[in-house]
Amino acid sequence: MYRTAARRLLGAGFTTSRLLRLPKPRPTTTIIPYSYCTSSMESPIGNQSVNPNQSDPTAAREEGHRRDESRKPRAEFQEEQARVLAASLRHVPRLGWTEEAMIAGSREVGVSPSIVGSFSRKEAALVEYFMDECLQLLIDRVDSGLDLQNLIPSERVSKLVRIRLEMQIPYMSKWPQALSIQAHPVNVPTSFKQRAMLVDEIWHTVGDGASDLDWYVKRTVLGGVYSATEIYMLTDDSPAEYRDTWAFLDDRVKDAFDLKKSIQEAKYFAQDIGAGVGKSFQGLMNGVMQTMSTRGGRSSAF
Amino acid sequence: MALRLLSSRRRLGSIVLSYRSPLASLHSHATSFGFQQVKEEEKSKLVSNVFTNVASSYDIMNDVMSAGLHRLWKERLVGKLSPFAGMKHLDVAGGTGDVAFRIFDAVNSVKRRALRKVDEASIEETQIYVCDINPNMLNVGKQRAAERGLSDNRSLVWVEGDAEALSFDDDSMDGYTIAFGIRNVTHIEKALAEAYRVLKRGGRFLCLELSHVDIPVFKELYDLYSFQVIPNLGELIAGDRDSYQYLVESVRRFPPQERFAKMIGDAGFEKVEYENLVGGVVAIHSAIKL
């Protein structure tokens, strides 16, 4: 999961998850233009980060050096692309997620608008860039000390989803267009992957330790909650900055957690009955759960 | 090349100027004209003769030889280019204007649709320059423009010039296309260097060219078609077997896709890619100047 995120965000050279967690000083109020690529190449890889699940930092240094030497031209091109896309985002509220916005963006950067022709699936490239940027911003917010300790899990989830959705507020007038672009069959694989990464990231931050069937259930449910809230937000004109949307979000998250509790309760209930009726039912349920979780475990190389 | 240095840098169209200087005979290299080896100075003259002869039936022959597919290939080329309103585009070796007309249509229809969103800064006019070394081909192109009612249109500009020594300023073009022309150029590297020179930063280079087929059985069929059918068609329809013999031979002598892509990269371009159409019969190479 993290590998694909890192690869998408930072180019083909980087393949490890720790790069998403490097503490770097970044303003969180605006969408970052070009600096994130260069800063990730220069930032010292030596400092150990807090997260214990990280692999060897020396490998990253070597990878970084190798990348610098052999891939300078390609890195430059991707940086240029990122620069153009970042500049284009500023024109989106006025021009929509369209080629015109990208042309305006490229003019701003000082590059011929012909470069827009070289983006595959042009408008989709812009939307996908935005989604990646938002994910990165969310990760940075979390890393730079978001206070989640005093909250119960359902409130943590609510808070994270809210932070993420608030990033879309400046583009809200054109967001339906972005959603329709993401829904095109050509673009669905990428947009699905991006949303899956987002949902995975949120659960990871909340402190999810499940590795069986629960993993899929949790992510699917949160994906549904996120999409529902996103769409609700499109038509919400409540006075105090989407107050109704946040209320809706809180309710849906609570429902989701209750659902989880009720599935758990159903399992215990079945076990109790099994003790009475005989081991056969429980054996059946266990057998089913086991097969499903091993199948889930095998296919979790996502 | 001595010949190029001696002629004026700006007006280089006319091959009538090909006189031999003492220097030329000392440094003359051989190059290929189809399967023959000829002196470099002669190649451009021979090519010029070929196109003077075929100019009037060029379009018909294209249709017959490719069974109309060349139209789809050119559509694909223009699609890849993604023209936009206000762009300055150069189509080299585009004599009869096929690619130029398509770009013109694309820009004008897009412009009409997007009029409500046109940025104030981009109300410059689109300029499509069609450059060809052969005046006969350009005349056919101008005639076709007149038939479409575009003879007074300021967007299409017909220029006589040599791909190896373009008369345009540095960093002046948003796009550069060359369709079925680069194999006729004597020094491909020079044409690529010129393309790099005239393109702006972010400008795109697109080359549509007949290329090499590697698929086993199809390759034999294609060779058969090229060497047996096409020269005969040339004789029948255009009355000129030799020119079409030259054509099929020059396709074989042109570098294969990977090598040509490397040459483009060597000229300084970034993100060099190519796409094979019809199994490699035609390839579209694209690159960006950064």
pLDDT digits 0-9 by tens, A275-288: 666 666 667 778 78
Evaluate whether residue B169 is within a structural domain.
yes
Which of A9-23, A180-194, B118-132 has the least mean pLDDT? A9-23
Second CATH level (architecture) for the domain A121-284: Orthogonal Bundle (1.10)
B138 and B201 housed in the same domain: yes
Cβ contact, residue pair A100, B200, below 8 Å: no
Using the predicted structure, report yes or no on whether residue B118 has a pLDDT greater than 80: no
List chain A residues with CB under 8 Å of B121. Answer: 104, 107
CATH number of the domain that B173 lies in? Answer: 3.40.50.150
Say whether both B149 and B241 belong to one domain: no
Residue B112: pLDDT over 90: no
Contacting residues of A for B86, CB less than 8 Å apart: 113
Check: CB of residue B117 under 8 Å from CB of residue A95: yes
The reply to whether B138 falls in a domain is: yes
Q: What is the band of B1 on the pLDDT scale with cuts at 50, 70, 90?
A: very low
Distance CA A247, CA A252 (A): 9
Q: Are residues B146 and B267 in the same domain?
A: yes
End-to-end CA distance of chain B: 28
B233 and B267 inside one domain: no
Q: Phi/psi at A112 (nearest 5 deg)?
A: -65, 140
Nearest CA in chain B to A117: B82
Give me the pLDDT at residue A174, please.
92
pTM above 0.90, yes or no: no
Query: How many residues in chain A?
Result: 302
Task: Provide the residue range defining the domain that includes B222.
Answer: 47-66+213-253
Domain shared by B81 and B221, yes or no? no
B-chain CB neighbours of A116 within 8 Å are: 82, 84
Which pLDDT score is estimated for B220? 92
Model confidence at A151: pLDDT above 90: no
pLDDT value at A267 more than 90: no
Measured in whole angstroms, how far is the alpha carbon of residue A131 from the centre of its chain?
A: 7
Cβ-Cβ contacts under 8 Å between A and B: the total is 73
Query: What was the pLDDT predicted at A79?
Result: 86
Do B148 and B269 share a domain, yes or no?
yes
- Judge whether residue A302 has pLDDT over 80: no
**Which of B119, B203, B290 shows the shortest C-beta gap to A100?**
B119
A77–B contact, CB cutoff 8 A: yes
- The count of domains in chain B is 2
Do B148 and B231 share a structural domain?
no
| b/e code A213-250 from CB counts within 10 Å (16+ = b) | bbbbbbbebbbebbeebbebbeebeeeeebeebbebbb
A211, pLDDT greater than 80 = no
Instruction: Using only the alpha carbons of chain A, give its radius of gyration.
Output: 22
The confidence score (pLDDT) of residue B11 equals 41
Q: How confident is the model at residue B178 (pLDDT cuts 50, 70, 90)?
A: very high
pLDDT at A293 over 60: yes
Looking at the structure, do residues B102 and B128 belong to the same domain, yes or no?
yes
Q: What is the DSSP letter of B232?
A: H
Distance, in Å, from the CA atom of A273 to the CA atom of A282, rounded to the nearest integer, reads: 8
> Residue B12's pLDDT is what?
38
Of B80, B119, B175, Cβ closest to residue A104: B119
**Quick check: A118 and B174 CB within 8 A?**
no
Between A212 and B190, the more confident residue is B190
Q: What is the pLDDT of residue A276?
A: 66
* Pick from A61-75, B33-47, B158-172: least confident: A61-75
Pairing state between β B30-33 and B36-39:
antiparallel
Same domain, B158 and B54: no
Most confident of the ranges A59-63, A181-185, B152-156:
A181-185
Q: Phi and psi (nearest 5°) for A158?
A: -55, -45
Do B80 and B122 sit in the same domain of this protein? yes
Q: Does the distance separating the beta carbons of A80 and B290 come in below 8 Å?
A: yes
Q: pLDDT band for position B102 (50/70/90)?
A: very high
Q: Which of A107, A110, A111 sits opposite B121 (nearest CB)?
A: A107
Using pLDDT thresholds of 50, 70 and 90, give the confidence band for residue A214. confident
Residue positions of B in the annotated binding site for S-adenosyl-L-methionine?
96, 132, 162-163
pLDDT at A109 over 60: yes
Beta carbons of A103 and B119 less than 8 Å apart: yes
Higher per-residue pLDDT: A147 or B186: B186
Exposure of B29 in the CB half-sphere (CA atoms within 13 A): 7
B204/A118 touch (CB, cutoff 8 Å), yes or no: yes
Beta strands in B7-155 (DSSP E): 30-33, 36-39, 88-92, 127-132
Query: Minimal CA–CA distance to A178: which of A113, A234, A218?
Result: A234
Can you tell me the distance from the alpha carbon of B123 to that of A103, in angstroms, rounded to the nearest whole number? 13
- Alpha-carbon distance A182 to nearest alpha carbon in chain B (angstroms): 21
Q: Stretch B7-13: mean pLDDT, rounded? A: 39
> What's the whole-number mean pLDDT along residues A197-201?
91
Q: Which residue among A113, A116, A118 places its CB closest to the CB of B271?
A: A118
User: Does residue A40 contact residue A19 with C-beta atoms inside 8 Å?
Assistant: yes
Is the pLDDT at A62 greater than 50, yes or no? no
Using 50, 70 and 90 to split pLDDT, how confident is the model at B37? confident
Q: Is the pLDDT of residue A94 over 80?
A: yes
Residue B35 lies in a domain: no
Q: CA-CA distance, B281 to B257, in Å (whole number)?
A: 11
Q: Exposed/middle/buried for B241, CB within 10 Å: 0-12, 13-18, 19+?
A: middle
Inform me whether the pLDDT recorded for A268 exceeds 90: no
- Give the residue, A219 or A28, on which the prediction is more confident: A219
Residues of B with CB under 8 A from a CB of A: 80-82, 84, 86-87, 114, 117-119, 121-122, 174-175, 199-204, 270-271, 286, 288, 290
Contact criterion met (CB below 8 Å) for A19 and A34: no
Mean model confidence pLDDT for chain A: 74
Per the prediction, chain B carries an average pLDDT of 82
Annotated binding site of B: 96, 132, 162-163
Partners of residue B175 on adjacent β-strands: B89, B204
Higher pLDDT, A152 or A188: A188
Q: Is the pLDDT score of A48 beyond 60?
A: no
pLDDT at B15 over 50: no
Q: What is the mean pLDDT of residues A148-160?
A: 84
Q: Is the pLDDT of residue A61 over 90?
A: no
The answer on B269 and B128 residing in a single domain is yes
pLDDT of residue B113: 56
Give the integer Cα–Cα distance in Å for B276 and B265: 18
B223 with B79, same domain: the answer is no
Q: Is a pLDDT exceeding 70 seen at residue B122?
A: no
Q: Would you say residue B233 lies in a domain?
A: yes
Model confidence at A149: pLDDT above 70: yes
